[in-house]
Amino acid sequence: MATRKVRYKKLNIKTPLPVLREDQIDPSEYESLTNDGQIATGVEQAEENEYHLQAVLRGAGVAADKEIPVPPPQESVLTYEELYSRPFEETHTYIRFSQTVEECIGCMYDMTEDDEVFLKSYNQKRPPASQLPDDDFEKIMEVFEDTAYIRAPFASVDQTVVPYDEMLHGLHDLDRAKIMPHAKDIYEYWKARRQAVSNKPLHPTLKFEMHQESDEMDPYVCFRRREVRQTRKTRARDVQSADKLKRLRKELEEGRQLVMAALHRENLKADMLKIDRAIFEQRAQLKAQKIRLGIKTDDDDLINAKPQKRKAPEVPAIQRPPPPSQLRAPVRPDGRSNETDLAQLTERHLEKETELRIEIEKKVRNHNDWNRNHVDLTRGPLSPVSGPRSDLSFRPATTQYLMTPPASVSSASLEEPTPMELDNTPNPGPVFKFRGVAQDAESMANPPGYRRRVGRLNRLWIDRRGLASPPRDVDGSSSDRWKYDQSSDDEEDTPVYEVDPFDTRALKFRASVPLPIWMSRPVRPIVGIPPPFPPNHPQQPHLHPQHQQMQRGRDRARGPSPGSNRTFVL
Amino acid sequence: MSPSAEATVGSDGPRQKGKATPDSLKVGCIAQVVKDGQPRRAEILSIKETKSGRQFYCNFDNFNKRLDEWVPVARIDFDQDVEWPNPEKDKQKDAKAKKTAVVPKKAPSKKAQKKVAKRDRELSVASDGQTPHPWTEFTESQRNKGDDADDKVNASLEIGGGTPDMGPDEMELDEDETPAGAAKKEREERAPSFSRVEEIEKLRTSGSMTQNPAEISRIRNISKVEFGRYVLFPWYFSPYPECFNQEDTIYIDEFCLSYFGDLKSFARHRQKCTLQHPPGNEIYRDEAVSFFEIDGRRQRTWCRNLCLISKMFLDHKTLYYDVDPFLFYVMTKRDQFGNHLIGYFSKEKESTDGYNVACILTLPQYQRQGYGRLLIQFSYELSKIEGKLGSPEKPLSDLGLLSYRQYWSENIVDLLLTNSERDERVTIEYIATQLSMTTQDVEHTLQALRMQVYHKGEHKIVVPEKLIKQREKSKTKQKRLIDPDRIQWKPPVFTASNRTWGW
């Protein structure tokens, strides 16, 4: 091969290659790219040169008769059908299975030949009824082994033998009546067997990790646990994780600061409340003092002086975007609440109103300018709508006149205005307020008014105000009429009729009366209707006979009074 | 050109040579031993006394370890010189084995880590020495029961003179992590230094194969396995319970894969065990075989048992770490008794190296029947569904390499011929994506089959005539194939917590 030294181009895996058969190309014109030595076989180098492998490789593809010799397997002499007696039924669908080996076996203790010998001799000594079957023997042994493993996992090292008493707990789950008579004997046997194998589990077990040092090269130690993967330590990774830790620490610190600040704020708030309270109490004292000393001032003392409005210098602070990681309203450094900076609603309204007013005035001016050379013969800015509206569903709620006041108004002087008169009034005034009653001097002071409104279900309401009610005649018969309208059960509670005490009739009457009882002895502070009858009139309606008697009784008790007049003065 | 020309045993430097007797022959010696009727250099790895006399556990030069065997004195040629283990070396070994303070003095330049590794290796060797279990040969059935005590004594005696053949020059090579046994200078020169610590770290995060010879226990511990209808003779060490070394035969339930040293226990177990197929979901079924998918995390016991079995037949498989990060795809054959295990491959749930197979094994009783090819095909069918290019984890075993080479070449030739019929050009990448193979594997296969040529300034692919003939021949044969339409499988998705390496 050294005869032709051709430098080959490196073959790219994406280069399209023509595929030829051997007869399509002259063998003398090409050579194989590589010789065997350079081909990576993937076999461990120490074994690459093994005799049999090389023998086969050299004849690659030529002869299949060369084989690597291996120890040949043999047919077993054991009766397969005896050992594997369970028939298998093929499923129609693919098998899906997740039980573990342990779940498929059941009792994990398998009797050995030694056990068999022991059990045979053990059972020989017993009547057939109380013999221990193989299955139960295995169950007991399993309990012993399991309990020993749980209670003394390092039994083979520290030689702990789990006592029989501790085994009992595990035996409870078994069929006790059958098993308990044997348990103690089997325990002794189990113990002896464990001692014989230096207290290791009776079943041969794999060697797992016990002690790192000695395990490391022990070929029998297998299936070690993998420690959690450690990431490879590189400088970049170190820096990365350091950065992460730093950031974490910073964030935690910020969180802590936040909590501290919140605590501080709340403490300040509490202090403020306390101080406010103290101030209020001081003020209350001041007030009390003032009252005591008779100093008269207005109540401003009790109200906090309005804080001086400052032009807020921290407006830009509010507009500044909040820190990205914080979801928290910015706290003002001066501790003042934000409200002081906020515009009051009333102020806003005021502002708006003035604006509006100015606007209207401007409009009016403009309108006047516009109308300067225009003569308005209609006098009003708008001409009234004449004729029925084309809209039939129009509700004539805006009619300019009202229905006549109810006819029940008894006043003779009432003068009904006619619709025409209303229309003709030079200034109709407010739509819902007009005068429609007599214009005498009295009523002028408090002129009556009407108001029309539409209520539910399109009911039309006329509200009235200032109409003089018809005078009531207050003669006895009519006043008596109300007496029985009272629903009160209180018989004593006589009705009280309010009457003008300066009524001439009453004055005249009172003058004719000697001195009325209520003047010398004000039983009723509220002046009722003075009794229109003489005091001694037997038919006095307001005094019950009982009452009169009582008064007389009193008189008698005092004995004969010097003057009859005085009898009325009690 | 004979591959055996290059000695792999005891090539670590000049050795003392001389005549030996059966009594003076010790562990570490290299002698001429008859293998298959021919004398062959062999290293003595262990010595034991049996009723029929002393036996020597021999590793034959340039033969795979699966051919190691116990040989009687009669097969050793004492007329020829024996190469003795290096004496200085032995002294140091002695010192180290006793863990005296000599170690740092002897190797002062070594880093602590290396020291640990060295010492560990010693421990490994020692432990090997203590467990030289009779692997009674399958051909000659010279069983020796009851000699175990003797063996042990003998072995522990041997530890002193124990681990052989580490030349003084090796000690200067700080990075050398060679096994105490068959260290080879030439190998070391080629092999990148790969410390044990690095190896363990790599295994922790991915993979199931070890490239560190120190990981491999050199002496078979189980001699005979009853498995279903077959008796298997293990090829390599497997970390079954140590007490099984005493047993002539161990019994493995072919469904739940539980292991027993005692026939009575096994029989009792068989009465209780209800499992009749691998404990997972069936994802493929045709007339001949089924595939089951099993999660190592969910079926820990079963998967551990499976690994223990496969370790008996895979030299470079490691059981150092647990089975959690692997999925197991198990091929079975159905009959009226259940689904019988034929073979399996394991696959990392998430492979950082893009492997689609971690370990792959056809059980010996089913080898050379085309099942390995089915397993390989199935692994690539899964990769196709995943839309990934896959490759088996390295190192491959000799048998693994042959199986893969065959699968690759057949498929590539097939693809190329269909393309050549249509007169289309192909790229390496096209072949790779069509077959879900990595481009490296495609290139290696093309080169191994001498198909990639350089002609008139252009790269070309030439399909050799013999391969075309072979293809036509194999077409006439009824071949087992996987029917991709019958696969009922979606790539499993694992959450981060499922993928963590810890428990």
B357-392 pLDDT per residue, tens: 999 999 999 999 999 999 999 999 999 999 999 999
Per the listing, tokens 């037997």 go with A538
Quickly state the pLDDT bin for A88 (edges 50, 70, 90).
very high
| Mean pLDDT (whole number) for B400-408 | 92
User: Which pair of tokens denotes residue A510?
Assistant: 């009172």
pLDDT at B80 (0 to 100):
87
Whether B273 sits inside 8 A of A105 (CB atoms) is: yes
Task: Write out chain A residues lying below 8 Å of B416, CB-based.
Answer: 19
Q: Which of A442-446, A528-532, B54-58, B221-225 has the lowest mean pLDDT?
A: A528-532
Q: Could you tell me if B7 lies within 8 Å of chain A, comparing CB atoms?
A: no
Is there a contact between B120 and B14 (Cβ–Cβ < 8 Å)? no
Is 50 exceeded by the pLDDT of residue A539?
no
Cβ neighbours of residue A68 under 8 Å, at least 6 residues apart?
A: A52, A53, A56, B64, B398, B399, B402
Q: pLDDT: is A408 or A84 the higher one?
A: A84
Q: What is the DSSP string of B257-288?
A: --EES-HHHHHHHHHH----S-SSEEEEE-SS
Whether B337 sits inside 8 A of A61 (CB atoms) is: no
**Max mean pLDDT range (A211-220, A253-262, B423-432, B439-448):** A253-262
Provide the annotated active-site residues of B.
393
Is there a contact between B486 and B383 (Cβ–Cβ < 8 Å)? no
Q: Could you tell me if A96 lies within 8 Å of chain B, comparing CB atoms?
A: yes
Q: Using CB atoms, pick whichever of A16, A25, A40 lies closest to residue B425.
A: A16
* Mean of all residue pLDDT scores within chain B: 77
Question: What amino acid is encoded at A310 in this protein?
Answer: R
Q: Scanning every residue of chain B, which has its alpha carbon at the shortest distance from the alpha carbon of A135?
A: B268
The whole-angstrom separation of Cα B294 and Cα A494 is 107
Whether B368 sits inside 8 A of A67 (CB atoms) is: yes
Q: Of B119, B151, B285, which Cα lies nearest the Cα of B223?
A: B151
**Max mean pLDDT range (A381-395, B126-140, B440-454):** B440-454
Query: How much is the ipTM here?
Result: 0.74
Whether B277 sits inside 8 A of A33 (CB atoms) is: no
Q: Could you tell me if A142 lies within 8 Å of chain B, comparing CB atoms?
A: no
Distance (Å) from the C-alpha of residue B281 to the closest C-alpha of chain A? 4
Task: Show which of residues 37-66 on chain B sit within 8 Å of chain A, judged by CB atoms.
Answer: 62-64, 66
pLDDT at B313 (0 to 100):
95
Q: pLDDT: is A343 or A457 the higher one?
A: A457
Quickly state the pLDDT bin for B496 (edges 50, 70, 90).
low
Model pLDDT for residues B91-114, shown as the tens digit of each residue:
444 444 343 333 333 333 434 444
Q: Scanning every residue of chain A, which has its alpha carbon at the shortest distance from the alpha carbon of B392?
A: A42
Is 80 exceeded by the pLDDT of residue A434?
no
Q: Of A501, A500, A530, which Cα lies nearest the Cα of A514?
A: A530
Per the listing, tokens 């001799």 go with A121
Q: pLDDT: is A300 or A289 the higher one?
A: A289
- Cis upstream peptide for A333 (omega within 30°): no
Model pLDDT for residues B31-73, shown as the tens digit of each residue:
999 988 889 999 998 888 888 888 899 999 889 889 999 999 9
Whether A74 sits inside 8 A of B66 (CB atoms) is: no
Whether A43 sits inside 8 A of B401 (CB atoms) is: yes
The whole-angstrom separation of Cα B325 and Cα B348 is 6
pLDDT at A214 (0 to 100):
72
Q: What H or E segment, with its residue span, contains residue B292?
A: strand B289-295
CA distances, A333 to each of A313, A338, A339, A457, A474 (Å): 11, 11, 15, 60, 76
Model pLDDT for residues B426-444, shown as the tens digit of each residue:
999 999 999 999 999 999 8
Percent of chain A surpassing pLDDT 70: 56
Is 0.80 surpassed by the pTM of this model?
A: no
The whole-angstrom separation of Cα B316 and Cα A42 is 12
CA distances, B303 to each of A108, B319, B367, B496 (Å): 18, 11, 21, 21
Phi and psi based region of residue A199 (left: phi greater than 0; alpha: psi -120 to 50; beta: remaining): left
Whether B205 sits inside 8 A of A87 (CB atoms) is: no
Q: Could you tell me if B380 lies within 8 Å of chain A, comparing CB atoms?
A: no
Residue B446 Cα to chain centre, angstroms:
26
Model pLDDT for residues B143-200, shown as the tens digit of each residue:
333 333 333 333 333 333 333 333 333 333 333 333 333 333 334 444 445 677 787 7
Whether A44 sits inside 8 A of B124 (CB atoms) is: no
Distance (Å) from the C-alpha of residue B385 to the closest C-alpha of chain A? 19
Q: Could you tell me if A206 lies within 8 Å of chain B, comparing CB atoms?
A: yes
pLDDT at B459 (0 to 100):
85
Q: Residue-wise over B104-126: b if at least 16 C-beta within 10 A, else e?
A: eeebeebeeebebbbbbbbbbbb
| Mean pLDDT (whole number) for A195-219 | 82
Quickly state the pLDDT bin for B479 (edges 50, 70, 90).
confident
Q: Could you tell me if A211 lies within 8 Å of chain B, comparing CB atoms?
A: no
Quickly state the pLDDT bin for A475 (edges 50, 70, 90).
low
Cβ neighbours of residue A242 under 8 Å, at least 6 residues apart?
A: none
Q: Could you tell me if A1 lies within 8 Å of chain B, comparing CB atoms?
A: no
The whole-angstrom separation of Cα A175 and Cα A133 is 13
Is there a contact between B187 and A45 (Cβ–Cβ < 8 Å)? yes
Model pLDDT for residues A333-380, shown as the tens digit of each residue:
555 555 555 667 888 889 999 999 999 999 999 988 887 777 766 665
Q: Using CB atoms, pick whichever of A21, A31, A207 lies closest to residue B453.
A: A31
Whether B127 sits inside 8 A of A218 (CB atoms) is: yes
Taking each continuous run of H as one helix and of E as one strand, the counts in chain A are: 19, 5
**Max mean pLDDT range (A297-311, A381-395, A548-562):** A297-311
The whole-angstrom separation of Cα B374 and Cα B116 is 43
The whole-angstrom separation of Cα A182 and Cα B17 is 67
Is 70 exceeded by the pLDDT of residue A164?
yes
Quickly state the pLDDT bin for A300 (edges 50, 70, 90).
low
pLDDT at A397 (0 to 100):
40
Task: Write out chain B residues lying below 8 Å of A82, CB-based.
Answer: 267
Is 60 exceeded by the pLDDT of residue A403?
no
User: Which pair of tokens denotes residue B308?
Assistant: 């223990």
